[in-house]
Chains A and B, each alone.
Chain A
Amino acid sequence: MGVVAEARARLVWPRPLVYGFAGFGALLGALALQLKAQHIQRIHHLGLRLDGSYSLAGLVLGGLGGFAFLVAGLLAHARRPDNRVGLLMVLVGVGFFAEDVQLALDGWVHSIGLLLVRAADGFLVHLVLAFPGGRLATRPLRLLAGLAYAAVFVLIPIRALFLDTRRRDLPKPNMLMIADSDRIVHGLGAVYDAIGLVVALAVVGVLVHRWVRAGPPGRRVLAPVFVTGVLGAASTIASPLWLELAWAPRIVFCLLPLAFLVGVLRVLLGRTAVGTLLAALREPMSAAQLEAALARTLGDPSLRIGYWRPDAQAFVDGDGRALPPITGTGDGVTLVEPGGRRVAVLVHDPALREDGHVLAAATAAAELALENQRLTAEVRAQLAEVRDLAGRLVTAGDAERRRLERDLHDGAQQQLVTAALALRTAARRLGGAAEPQTAALLSAGVDGLDAAIGELRELARGIHPAILNDAGLVPALQALAERTPEPEVRLRAASVPRLPAAHEATGYFVAAEALTNTLKHAGARRVCIAVEYEEGVLRIEVTDDGVGGADVRPGGGLLGLRDRVTALGGEFVLRSDPGHGTSVSAAIACRP
């Protein structure tokens, strides 16, 4: 499922509804401010002591905080209609003002206000838990929000039924009261406080957990709310100690909607980054650069790109190397499938999903570059496969040669030895009884068989010398030098460990073929075979002082050597200027 489809699947709240709530909240706010002002005036008039929340400054700050939630919520909704955070912020504003409705003098309005004295708390808990994605992602979160709503909109209204507000400093009738019971009021109040404590602790736990689990992109979004939350908590604890800080919690409350807004609108910063990405993509870039650019744009250093190989039905990295299978399409996996055709996959911090727009925009911007890199990666992967295949062909060819050599020794040669033995035994049994001619025939037969055995041995040796497998490259080269009568062959060998069979065989055949060429064409007086293994590279060089002028011809032995060395990912160099001797060298990387 692509990013776009994912976004479409989310519920988009109808704009008029959100605007309606905000408008209602604004009216309620005006009413609340008026009621509060009236309330302060009356308290002042009666000469009662003002508590902090009913001072003029409290009135102004409270009004600012409430309207800030309404406005910030509207902005958040306008920017990201698919995200419920905007709506929840508006509702917190509405709830905040609704809490002051109980200040009304009118009996019924006052009584209804009593039902709503904690309205903001429920929405605030929901907002904090749903931030920044707007969804309550897990069942425990939904239960927690449900508990808060139940306390605020069930427990408090029930309590209101037993609340006698006529006995307050500013007596007002509670039209909803069914019984005046301090016991029930206090009991429900205690239950409410207990639930409040539990919910508060749980919310703190959830937030700390989120912060700890979040990667850099997640923290980028969470940070403003976290900083404001920590400031609020700190100022709430500190304000009783220093009177100068008494207003700090209220100021922080006013900042809270801004913090939520910044968190939600970090998407705008992301959009700027997408613009930068678009500009950067004009220049050709490597797979690693593209990955780095996308990681920078999305603020997620952990981001990795996999490219789709349709022929292998698997993802590979930019160099064409196979990636571990990517299972499912969790929040940390985004498939790039323009027009339903799979191009790549981004594996990233799941928090990027909260910025679905940026993810979609960045992915769309990089589509062409991703497709280019996909083609490159596919070609690289195929090239690597061809190279592997060539290596396997060489290895398989060697195994076949070795098998042939063994078959010759164990089959034909054994038979010849047995036949020679039989003839010899027959000759001995006949002894002096045989005619001289018969004895000569038998003797010729044995000699012929011995010659055949010798030729068969050299044939088997040419196919694949057993000593190469039994003792390694240097002893095999030494044996090669030993059995070359003319010209003088010298072997210079640094210590070479045992290497994979294909590499030892390639080293050997480079020397053997070069030596054969020298013997046939060069007219050399001296040949030097040098072999060394250093820093993971096997080097072998055959140099002669002959006539030079050798070249790699189709069908020639040197071409076969070059193919063989290249198949193992090595380098083959022929230097043979006329009159300056010939040098054949090969360098192949390999591990013992």
Chain B
Amino acid sequence: MTRVVLAEDAPLIRDAIAGLLRDGGCEVVALVGEPAGLRAAIADTRPSVAVVDIRMPPTHTVEGLEAAVDIRREHPEVGVLLLSQYLEAHYPLTLFGADPRGVGYLLKERVSGAGELVEAVRAVAGGGCVLDPGVVALLMGGRRTGLAVLSEREREVLALMAEGLSNAAIARRLYLTGKTVESHVRSIFARLGLPEEPDGHRRVLAVLAHLRERPFQGWP
């Protein structure tokens, strides 16, 4: 059974999320409302996953993000799923760092979606990576002419790779065979001029790095 610590300072939402997790077959081992309590609960209960709200007391800015980064560093065996109001690429990429394993970033409203939260908790508990589809859509915004070389189907596959899905999961999601997905993936990497990566966290990293336009350093 997946053991979960839930950190969320709004009691109504906290209780609702805890209910969802329990209904989904998770064991909620601790409910906390601020970063210090979260750190203590992680050290005490050693859960499989910490579900953390990005905004927590005292300043309600990024205390949750900082706590999540700390947990990943101090307890690499604990998966971290960040719940956020912000549709921004900056926060998840800060959290993921160079090692997007056992980590996830979901917009808060996903908790009301059918099973999305529990699915994400399970994926993170299993060492996977979860990135909110909204953030992926943002990264794949139409302005990037580089993506025009891909077919519509390939763009769908690329988005799901960015969300952290494995080939098998992509195949299930798009009702395709595993072989078809594999050939799409190869084609995508070839057309974007990226070195092919095996199915896993390194692939997520390569895809995100490609999608994330970095600012130029220095003047032209």
Partners in one complex: yes
List residues of chain A with CB under 8 Å of any chain B CB.
406, 409-410, 413-414, 416-418, 420-425, 428, 446, 449-450, 453-454, 457, 461, 466-467, 469-471, 474-475, 477-479, 481-495, 530, 532
Could you write out 30 A-B pairs with CB less than 8 Å apart? A409-B85, A410-B55, A414-B10, A414-B13, A416-B109, A418-B13, A418-B16, A421-B13, A421-B17, A421-B111, A424-B113, A428-B23, A446-B112, A454-B109, A467-B88, A467-B91, A470-B61, A470-B65, A477-B215, A482-B139, A485-B142, A487-B143, A488-B143, A491-B213, A492-B216, A492-B218, A492-B219, A493-B216, A494-B218, A495-B217
Q: Min CB distance, A512 to chain B, in Å?
A: 15
Cross-chain contact of A466 among B86, B111, B113 (Cβ < 8 A):
B86
State the CA gap A481–B219 with chains docked (Å).
17
C-alpha gap A528/B145 in the complex (Å): 16
Supplied contacts A417-B111, A494-B218, 7 more A-B pairs, CB within 8 Å: A418-B16, A421-B17, A422-B16, A450-B112, A466-B86, A482-B89, A530-B219
- Which chain B residues (40-88) contact chain A, with CB distance < 8 Å? 55, 60-62, 65, 85-88
Residues of chain A within 8 A (CB-CB) of B91 are: 467, 470
Give chain B residues whose Cβ lies under 8 Å from the Cβ of A491: 213, 215-216
* Residue picked from B60, B85, B91, B114, most chain A C-beta under 10 Å: B85
- With a CB–CB cut-off of 8 A, which chain B residues contact A410? 10, 55, 60
Chain A, residue nearest B17 (CB): A421
Across the interface, which residues of A come within 8 angstroms of B141, CB to CB? 482-485
Q: Which residues of A contact B17 (CB under 8 A)?
A: 421
Contact pattern, B 117-151, Cβ under 8 Å of A = 1, otherwise 0 = 00000000000000000000011011101000000
Chain B contact-residue range equals: 35 or more
Q: Is the CB of B90 within 8 A of A478?
A: yes
CB closest residue in chain A, given B141? A485
A467 touches B86 (CB 8 A): yes
Say whether, besides A478-B90, A487-B143, A495-B217, A423 and B10 are in contact (CB < 8 Å).
Answer: no
Question: With A and B bound together, what is the CA distance between A493 and B216 in angstroms?
Answer: 6
Contact B90 A475 (CB under 8 A): yes
Residue of B nearest to A481 (CB): B213
What is the minimal beta-carbon distance from A111 to any residue of chain B, in angstroms? Answer: 99
Q: In whole angstroms, what is the CA distance A17 to B102 when docked?
A: 107
Let me know if B98 is at the binding interface, CB within 8 A. Answer: no
**Assembled-state Cα–Cα distance A530/B139 (Å):** 21
B16 touches A492 (CB 8 A): no
Q: Is B1 an interface residue (CB 8 A)?
A: no
Of A417, A481, A484, chain B has the most CB atoms within 10 Å of the CB of A417
B112 touching A470, Cβ below 8 Å? no
- Contact among A418, A466, A532 with B61 in the assembled complex (CB-CB below 8 Å): A466
Q: How far is the CA of A439 from the CA of B86 in the complex (A)?
A: 30
Chain B contacts for A446, CB-based, 8 A: 112
- In the complex, what distance in Å separates the CA atom of A446 from the CA atom of B88? 23
- Assuming the contacts A457-B87, A492-B215, asked whether A417 and B108 have C-beta atoms less than 8 A apart, the reply is yes
Please determine whether A482 and B61 come into contact, CB atoms closer than 8 angstroms: no
Cross-chain contact B60 with A478 (CB below 8 angstroms): no
Report which of A406, A457, A481 forms a contact with B60, defined as CB distance below 8 A: A406
Q: Which 3 A-B pairs have the closest CB atoms?
A: A493-B215, A420-B112, A421-B16
Q: How far is the CB of A233 from chain B (nearest CB, A)?
A: 74
Using known A-B contacts A457-B87, A494-B217, determine if residue A424 contacts B13 with beta carbons closer than 8 Å.
Answer: no
Q: What is the bound-complex CA distance between A410 and B23, given in angstroms?
A: 26
Query: Which of B89, B94, B109 is close to A417, meaning CB atoms less than 8 Å apart?
Result: B109
Which residues of chain B are near A413, meaning CB under 8 Å? 85, 108
Q: Which residues of A contact B94 (CB under 8 A)?
A: 471
B86 and A532 contact, CB distance less than 8 A: no
Q: How far is the CB of A447 from chain B (nearest CB, A)?
A: 10
Q: Report if B25 contacts A (CB, 8 A).
A: no
Question: What is the bound-complex CA distance between A453 and B132, given in angstroms?
Answer: 15
Tell me the complex Cα distance, A453–B87, Å.
Answer: 11
Contact across chains for B213 and A482 when beta carbons are under 8 A apart: yes
**Residue of B at shortest CB range from A494?**
B218
Minimum distance in angstroms from B179 CB to a CB of chain A: 34
The residue that B109 contacts in the complex, of A450, A483, A487, A530, with Cβ under 8 A, is A450
- Judge if B220 is at the interface, Cβ distance under 8 Å: yes
Contacts of A449 in B (CB 8 A): 109, 112
Residues from chain B with Cβ under 8 Å of A495 in the complex: 217
State the CA gap A410–B12 with chains docked (Å): 12
Compute how far the CA of A492 lies from the CA of B55 in the bound complex, rounded to whole angstroms: 30
Q: Which residue of B lies closest to A408 (CB)?
A: B85
Complex CA gap A467/B86 in Å reads: 8
CB pair B143–A453 under 8 Å, yes or no, is no
Name the residue of chain A whose CB is nearest to the CB of B10. A414
Tell me the smallest distance from the CB of A574 to a CB of chain B, in Å: 21
User: Is B19 at the interface (CB under 8 A from chain A)?
Assistant: yes
A479: chain B residues at CB < 8 Å are 88-90
Given contacts A410-B60, A417-B111, A457-B85, contact A425 B220 (CB under 8 A): no
A486 near B142 (CB under 8 angstroms)? yes
CA distance A317 to B134 in the complex (A): 58
Bound together, the chains give a CA A492 to CA B23 distance in angstroms of 49
Q: Which residues of B contact A475 (CB under 8 A)?
A: 90
User: CA A492 – CA B60 in complex, angstroms?
Assistant: 31
B-chain residues with CB within 8 Å of residue A467 when the two chains form the complex: 86, 88, 90-91
Task: Give bound CA distance, A425 to B89, whole Å.
Answer: 30
In angstroms, Cα B53 to Cα A413, docked, is: 14
In the bound assembly, the distance between CA atoms of A310 and B20 in angstroms comes to 69
Chain A CB within 10 Å — which of B10, B89, B90, B139 has the most?
A: B90
B16 adjacent to A453 (CB under 8 Å): no
Cβ contact within 8 Å between A471 and B90 = yes
CA distance A418 to B90 in the complex (A): 26
Complexed CA–CA distance, A488 and B94 (Å): 25
Chain A residues in 8 Å Cβ range of B19: 425
B138/A418 in contact, CB under 8 A: no
- What is the minimal beta-carbon distance from B109 to any residue of chain A, in angstroms? 5
Q: For residue A421, which residues in chain B have a CB less than 8 angstroms away from its CB?
A: 13, 16-17, 20, 111-112
Task: Tell which of B65, B94, B109, B114 has the most Cβ of chain A within 10 Å.
Answer: B109
For residue A472, which residue of chain B has the nearest CB? B90
